[in-house]
């Protein structure tokens, strides 16, 4: 009898404990590598909040949040250019309470740029976390003279180049062809004219492409096996390949690498909002941010975290970005709604063209 009572008490208390724990859960919708296990362990130790991670990408994040009207997650990490458009169309985020974010931990210029880019009706919807660029990954032993996006069309490399059928390809090629697509964002007619030009060029280039890569793993395989000698890719992917094969390098294209900043944004129906702010302030500490740089391969907007990053990553960064190339990075401005439909049609037409 006494035994049974203890058991009941035990069952009750354990269920209480689990109930308390589940109330303190942070559901994080993020990219692979942005929430490494060691960082989660440190955060759980310090705050007692359990972190559940769902890895995703920009489009998938918006789709997931759109399906629930902004419920199901407490913190999301969309790129800064993809916030205001999605917010206007689907109303999936809530404004950031800037008084709860420790701004002193962030690089001021990046915080200011992100605030300006994610502002809507006086409210700010995102603060910066990880930044990086997309440009060219080149096997310098076999394709020395690939300097810009349009060099991927050179018949010298027929069957040995690859890129994605996504919007960065359109924008990169537009810059390399002497256009300024970001300036035309607000003028649909002009943007369509640029898209038409790029579409024609990419259809012309089709015989040279080996395949349009669809996932990071597929691309890394193609370059590692040397089936592909030049590709359009992210800097972190290039640096990862560089550690295995010193010939493979990330090169900032002559017309400028395309720069992105992934942010923290809070979904409209988030439950653990305080936990979300705690996470933001926790991971922006320089030592923690350096751990994320190790895992994700990209640098963060955390002030002073460079000191804690390993020497290899620092050297790779400096080789890929001499000061002139760093200044030449084209940062993505916010995408106005409706633009992606135009791009989508162009991408489909390129893929289907023979």
Partner 1 sequence: MSQQRWQFYFLLTPFLLWIGLLIIWPHFNMLEVSLTERSWTQGDSFSFKHYLLFFQQSLYWNTYLRTAWMAILATFITLLISFPVAYYIAKVAKPRSKLALLMCCLLPFWLSELVRAYGWMILLRESGIISGLLQAIGLADAPIEMLYHDATIILGLVYSGMLFMVVPLVSSLDSMDNSYIEAGFDLGGNRWHIFWEIVFPYAMPGVVSGCIIVFMLNLGNYLIPNLMGGKDSLWFTEMVYTQFITRFNWELGSAFGILLLVLSSLLVWLALKLSGQSLSTTVGR
Q: What are the residues binding partner 1 (CB under 8 A)?
A: 59-60, 62-63, 66, 86, 88-90, 159, 166, 206, 209-212, 214, 218, 225-227, 337, 340-341, 344-345, 348-349, 351-354
> Strand, helix or coil at 275?
helix
Residue whose CB is less far from partner 1, 166 or 330: 166
Taking the complex as a whole, the smallest distance from the CB of residue 175 to partner 1 amounts, in Å, to 22
Taking the complex as a whole, the smallest distance from the CB of residue 353 to partner 1 amounts, in Å, to 8
Angle at 115 between CA 70 and CA 333, to 5 degrees: 85
Burial 80-115 (b: 16+ CB within 10 A, else e): bbbbbbbbeebebbbbbeeeebeeebbbeebbebbb
Residue whose CB is less far from partner 1, 109 or 351: 351
Confirm if 160 and 228 have CB atoms less than 8 A apart: yes
Residue whose CB is less far from partner 1, 52 or 206: 206
Residue whose CB is less far from partner 1, 227 or 319: 227
Query: Look-up: residue for tokens 């010193």?
Result: 246
Alpha carbon distance 214, 200 (integer Å): 22
Residue whose CB is less far from partner 1, 289 or 346: 346
Confirm if 319 and 238 have CB atoms less than 8 A apart: no
Taking the complex as a whole, the smallest distance from the CB of residue 34 to partner 1 amounts, in Å, to 20
The counts of H helices and E strands in the chain are 14, 15
Taking the complex as a whole, the smallest distance from the CB of residue 274 to partner 1 amounts, in Å, to 30
Taking the complex as a whole, the smallest distance from the CB of residue 233 to partner 1 amounts, in Å, to 17
> Strand, helix or coil at 234?
strand
Taking the complex as a whole, the smallest distance from the CB of residue 349 to partner 1 amounts, in Å, to 6
Residue whose CB is less far from partner 1, 287 or 348: 348
Task: Tell me the DSSP string of 277-320.
Answer: HHHHHHHTSHHHHHHHHHHHSSEESBTTGGGGS-HHHHHHHHHH
Provide the token pair at 338.
Answer: 């409706």
Alpha carbon distance 114, 107 (integer Å): 11
Confirm if 230 and 197 have CB atoms less than 8 A apart: no
Residue whose CB is less far from partner 1, 27 or 166: 166
Taking the complex as a whole, the smallest distance from the CB of residue 280 to partner 1 amounts, in Å, to 26
């Amino acid at each position: 009898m006494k035994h049974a009572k203890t058991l009941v008490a035990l069952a009750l208390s354990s269920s209480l404990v689990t109930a308390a724990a589940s109330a303190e859960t942070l559901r994080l919708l993020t990219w692979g590598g942005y929430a490494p296990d060691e960082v989660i362990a440190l955060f759980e130790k310090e705050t007692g909040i359990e972190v559940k991670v769902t890895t995703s990408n920009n489009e998938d994040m918006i789709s997931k949040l759109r399906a629930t009207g902004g419920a199901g997650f407490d913190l999301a990490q969309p790129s800064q250019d993809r916030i205001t458009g999605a917010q206007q169309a689907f109303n999936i985020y809530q404004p950031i309470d800037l008084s709860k974010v420790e701004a002193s931990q962030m690089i001021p210029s990046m915080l200011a740029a992100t605030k300006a880019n994610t502002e809507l009706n006086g409210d700010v919807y995102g603060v910066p976390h990880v930044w990086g660029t997309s440009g060219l990954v080149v096997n310098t032993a076999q394709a020395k003279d690939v300097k810009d996006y349009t060099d991927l069309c050179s018949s010298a490399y027929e069957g040995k180049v690859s890129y994605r059928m996504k919007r960065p390809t359109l924008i990169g090629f537009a810059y390399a062809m002497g256009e300024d697509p970001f300036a035309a964002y607000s003028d649909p007619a002009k943007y369509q004219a640029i898209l038409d030009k790029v579409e024609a060029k990419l259809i012309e280039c089709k015989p040279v492409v080996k395949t349009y890569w669809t996932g990071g793993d597929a691309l890394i395989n193609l370059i590692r096996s040397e089936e592909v000698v030049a590709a359009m890719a992210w800097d972190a992917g290039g640096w990862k390949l560089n550690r295995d094969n010193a010939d493979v390098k990330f090169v900032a294209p002559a017309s400028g690498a395309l720069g992105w900043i992934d942010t923290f944004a809070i979904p409209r129906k988030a439950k653990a909002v305080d936990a979300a702010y705690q996470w933001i302030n926790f991971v922006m500490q320089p030592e923690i941010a350096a751990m994320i740089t190790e895992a994700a391969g990209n640098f963060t907007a955390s002030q002073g975290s460079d000191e804690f990053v390993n020497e290899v990553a620092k050297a790779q960064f400096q080789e890929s970005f001499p000061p002139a190339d760093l200044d030449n990075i084209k940062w993505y401005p916010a995408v106005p709604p409706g633009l992606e439909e135009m791009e989508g049609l162009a991408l489909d037409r390129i893929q289907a063209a023979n």
